[in-house]
Amino acid sequence: MTTSDDSPLYPPIDPYTSGMLAVGDGHEIYWEVSGNPDGQPVVFLHGGPGGATNPDQRRFFDPDGYRIILFDQRGCGRSTPHAASPGADMSANTTWHLVADIEALRTHLDVESWHVFGGSWGSTLALAYSQKHAERVRSLVLRGIFTLRKAELDWFYEGGASALFPDWFERYVAPVPPQERGDCMGAFHRLLHDPDPSVHGPAAVAWSTWEAATTSLLIDDDSITKFSQPEFALAFARIENHYFVNRGWFAEGQLIEGAGALADIPGVIVQGRYDACTPAATAWDLHRAWPQAEFVMVPDAGHASTEPGIARALVAATDKMAAMPPR
């Protein structure tokens, strides 16, 4: 099967099976499988943290060649309990819980090893999973590299990116009292967990739309509309902020320093040259630490996987990985 003439992605498909998997701590994660039941298994790790799966994510993979596995991470999408629920408890929602969930899903679906695909936060999770379970990873396709180092978080959430988006940054910090703007992530943590909807609601929308407004080379109004929906925004903002104030439960620089564990894993790193959310310096640092991976700098793109140049590069990468013999 080939991609359609007007899109770099494969045509839309529906799942042939789906379900909920209990992963402990009262959490159940939604999962689905599409494509070829006998194809090479690939797991898609969505962004955020706190985003969710959507039908277009299936389209990065040739459905004739891949068994395509998507799931919603803890607290978001169709997984339960939802982070927007009153009194939602985040204590059992960490990077290492998610890494364990990926392994639980692999076992549940009777997968021996699989290709791993992740962009933005999904690249973080893919790196964490692959460094811990390298023997289960056939290949890695990563986009918009994000490793939660302090400089990366400070750039986007504490003012660095305001040099490019001063209008949207002003909207982002609007809910934060001026005296607290020296630690925006900490201030948002307080606001997002305030029980008063008139406090946590506007804070969630401000946090979420800041990301939506800055992900693509040109402003995507549809993305801003989606990210400003109150229930989505609250779950997204609460989970992201929870992960970021805790630095992902990583030591500083851990994922770059641990990249030697990936040496035997085929990989492709796709990065937009003008990515304002996860600037190219991080992708380059990973490339230097993992030189065995192919590095693709897309010259006319920002962060979003929906940008044509990035989408084309990702489809080319998954096609390439499907053609490789299992390691």
Residues annotated as catalytic are: 120, 275, 303
What SS3 class is residue 169?
Answer: helix
In Å, how far are 172, 208, 227, 228 from 205, measured between CA atoms? 9, 5, 7, 5
DSSP 68: E
Stated length of the chain: 327
DSSP 235: H
What SS3 class is residue 48?
Answer: coil
Task: Please answer whether residues 237 and 208 qualify as being in contact, where contact means their C-beta atoms are separated by less than 8 angstroms.
Answer: yes
CA torsion sign for 122, 243, 74, 276 is negative
Query: Strands 137-143 and 267-272, how do they pair?
Result: parallel
Q: Which two tokens stand for residue 34?
A: 């599409």
In Å, how far are 3, 27, 40, 71, 217 from 79, measured between CA atoms? 30, 8, 25, 8, 31
Element (H, E) at 298: strand 294-298
Query: Strands 137-143 and 27-35, how do they pair?
Result: unpaired
Task: Please answer whether residues 217 and 274 qualify as being in contact, where contact means their C-beta atoms are separated by less than 8 angstroms.
Answer: yes
- Give me the amino acid identity at 311: A
In Å, how far are 18, 88, 241 from 184, measured between CA atoms? 39, 22, 10
Task: Please answer whether residues 52 and 72 qualify as being in contact, where contact means their C-beta atoms are separated by less than 8 angstroms.
Answer: yes
What SS3 class is residue 160?
Answer: helix
- Helices 184-192 and 150-157: angle between axes, nearest 10 degrees: 70
